Amino acid sequence: TIMIIGTLITVSSNSWLGAWMGLEINLLSFIPLLSDNNNSMSTEASLKYFLTQALASTVLLFSSILLMLKNNMNTEINESFTSMIIMSALLLKSGAAPFHFWFPNMMEGLTWINSLILMTWQKIAPLMLISYLNMKNLLLITVILSVIVGAMGGLNQTSLRKLMAYSSINHLGWMLSSIMISESIWLIYFLFYSFLSFILTFMFNIFKLFHMNQLFSWFMNSKILKFSMFMNFLSLGGLPPFLGFLPKWLVIQQLTMCNQYFLLTVMMMSTLITLFFYLRICYSAFMLNYYENNWMMKMNMNSTNMNL
């Protein structure tokens, strides 16, 4: 409840100091959720989270004090420089590239429920504050870096949590690009992304899946479960007939109207890379690991027993 209140304070505050206070409440309420006495990985993750978020909060507070000095005391401070510092602090809070290094490592030590909160709810406040700033050049660089890092980082992953983390960084790039053009579109994109992430993490949590090899061996008996799981995987990647393509389509449409062709090309190419590793997983699961393959093995076993 306190975590939700913290986010609401940030979103509804009319000063940077109020926004900072909301972010602090949010941070201090999320850490007890992370720490689990039975798991040393989660304690390490909560410490990593605290250190990075505290650093970002300090920078945010420092830059808001600078802005206050400029407004109240007419001090000579470059406003674009201060906005850039605030933007960097908020990007660090949300885990966008090039400030993303804490994010995948931290996800590795969390439960699926905490991962879901980190990927969705914890991004609302920083993204909302980013949308107030008019820093298109810095956002442009961050979007390009985020989509490339998200695509490249997920290529050689066997851990599902790290895969979801890099996917989240890639989607964050799309969200930041939609912030540049329209506030309503980024909210639509965020809602779709949260919905798809919720379904996937919910399924991973029920079946206690954390690594790739578990995905292949688990759903051998139930075709419907396997199908629904990988449909959501492809939807998260943004494959056209599925739901996840719709928000991407809206962003693509708006970016073409704003003549951002270079940015759009980079984003679409990186999404093709993420789709490649999603399709690779789905292909392996559907074609190579299914129950009907096992009867061949049994027949071979029986024939060798007869020969003996």
Q: How far apart are CA 237 and CA 231, in angstroms?
A: 10
Residue 11, token pair as written in the block: 């979103």
Q: How far apart are CA 142 and CA 96, in angstroms?
A: 7
Residue-range domain boundaries for the chain: 1-287
Q: Are 21 and 88 in contact (CB under 8 A)?
A: no
Q: Is the backbone peptide bond immediately before 240 cis, with ω within 30 degrees of 0?
A: no
Q: How far apart are CA 70 and CA 284, in angstroms?
A: 59
Residue 127: closest CA among 23, 265, 271, 244: 23
Q: How far apart are CA 35 and CA 279, in angstroms?
A: 35
Q: What is the pLDDT of residue 71?
A: 78
Q: What is the pLDDT of residue 287?
A: 77
Q: What is the pLDDT of residue 220?
A: 65
Q: Give me the helices (H) in 108-182, please.
A: 112-119, 121-132, 136-153, 160-181
Residue matched to tokens 């505050």: 13
Q: What is the pLDDT of residue 295?
A: 54
What is 180-237 written as a DSSP string? HH-HHHHHHHHHHHHHHHHHHHHHHHHHT--BHHHHHHHTSS-HHHHHHHHHHHHHHH
Per-residue pLDDT of the chain (308 residues; tens, 9 = 90+): 999 999 999 999 999 999 999 999 999 999 999 887 677 888 889 999 999 999 999 999 999 998 888 877 777 778 888 999 999 999 999 999 999 999 999 999 899 999 999 999 999 999 999 999 988 899 999 999 999 999 999 998 899 999 999 999 999 999 999 999 888 999 999 999 999 999 999 999 998 999 988 887 776 677 788 888 889 999 999 999 899 999 999 999 999 999 999 999 999 999 999 999 899 888 888 777 655 555 555 555 555 655 55
What is 199-215 written as a DSSP string? HHHHHHHHHT--BHHHH
Backbone angles phi, psi at 159, to 5 degrees: -85, 130
Q: How far apart are CA 226 and CA 220, in angstroms?
A: 8
Q: What is the pLDDT of residue 306?
A: 52
Q: Nearest 5°: CA angle at 285, between 231 and 161?
A: 70
Q: What is the pLDDT of residue 76?
A: 72
Q: Are 20 and 64 in contact (CB under 8 A)?
A: yes
Q: How far apart are CA 227 and CA 76, in angstroms?
A: 61
Backbone angles phi, psi at 211, to 5 degrees: -135, 160
